[in-house]
Amino acid sequence: MAKQAGGSWLLRLDDLDGQRQTTGVADDIMRTLELFGLFWDGVISRQSENGEAYQHFFAALRQPDTVYSCGCSRAEIARSASAPHPGDDCIPYPGTCRAGMKAGAPVRSWRIRVPDEEICFFDLRRGQVCQSLPAVSGDFILRRADGEFAYQFAVVVDDYLTGVNQVVRGEDLLPSTPRQIYLQQLLGFPHPTYCHLPLVTDADGAKLSKRDHLVSHQLGNTAGKEQSLLLATLRFLGQNPPHELSNFSCRDILQWGVTHFEPCHLPATGGTLDI
């Protein structure tokens, strides 16, 4: 989609959480992309190199009526939840520290106040999407007491720094988008267009991800399957590549995709990948 629009396809390594980084994984991701002919444009962006920018924009937001300190632990928030909240990465914060922390409590994070209104955006696959931030996330975290910036805040700054104007990613991140749009509004950043793709799952419907090691240069489990995997992925995404492309290189298959890809054909749901 980026190439079809005459744009650039960028690679960013989300490496903020140093304690959870596994040696060699980032290199494996890059080598695997190259194996499939997926060569990125320009320099690689790394979140670990954007600390000064995060500090700057956090300071810009840190006003008493916008950002406040919070002493609640995850366990306390979980206990306060009235019902399970499936399908997202958080339990809605109940606003315990909105009017001030209880005496003697340590600062665990800084949260941003969210408005009691819906945030709406147009997704190229799902159409109009609206979400009530208080119902889904509540006042969400910008920064933790250990100094680590939260994902929702970091990616908004990252996209701004690199001039991202289209975000194409998995549907599991769709619930995060209204939070990111709200931060873009507060910081005066432009809004990218969004397209959230259906997810590849196992037979039981569980999402497959990098940690499942299904596609890895390091493990060598794609040798000889590159073309068939690309074609299977195009079919999974609702496209109709001709059968004779199976005899062509990854580069030629991707070029066919650049020319013929139609977002309007993306399927409503995901599922298993038929190879």
Highest mean predicted confidence (pLDDT) among 22-36, 178-192, 224-238:
178-192
Is 50-197 in the same CATH topology as 21-44+198-275? yes
Q: Which CATH architecture has domain 50-197?
A: 3-Layer(aba) Sandwich (3.40)
pLDDT tens by residue, 56-112: 999 999 998 999 999 998 888 887 655 444 444 578 999 999 999 988 889 999 999
DSSP reduced 3-state for 209: coil
The per-residue pLDDT for 88 is: 47
Question: Would the pLDDT of 21 be above 80?
Answer: no
pLDDT tens by residue, 133-172: 999 999 999 999 999 999 999 999 999 999 999 999 999 9
Residue written as tokens 């606003």?
A: 95
Question: Would the pLDDT of 190 be above 80?
Answer: yes
Q: Which CATH architecture has domain 21-44+198-275?
A: 3-Layer(aba) Sandwich (3.40)
* Per-residue three-class SS string for 8-73: CCCCEECCCCHHHCCCCHHHHHHHHHHHCCCCCCCCCEEHHHCHHHHHHHHHHHCCCCCEEEECCC
The per-residue pLDDT for 75 is: 84
* Confidence category of residue 25, pLDDT binned at 50, 70, 90: confident
Domain boundaries defined on the chain: 21-44+198-275, 50-197
Do 101 and 70 form a contact (C-beta atoms < 8 A)? yes
The per-residue pLDDT for 91 is: 86
How buried is residue 230: exposed, middle or buried, by Cβ count under 10 Å (0-12/13-18/19+)?
buried
- pTM for this predicted structure: 0.90
Q: Which residues pair with 40 in a beta bridge?
A: none
Mean pLDDT on 18-40: 84
Do 35 and 226 form a contact (C-beta atoms < 8 A)? yes
How far is residue 56's CA from residue 78's CA, in Å, rounded to a whole number?
31
Question: Would the pLDDT of 267 be above 90?
Answer: yes
Residue in 196, 170, 94 with CA at minimum distance from that of residue 137: 94
CA dihedral 121, 209, 267, 162 (to 10 degrees): 40
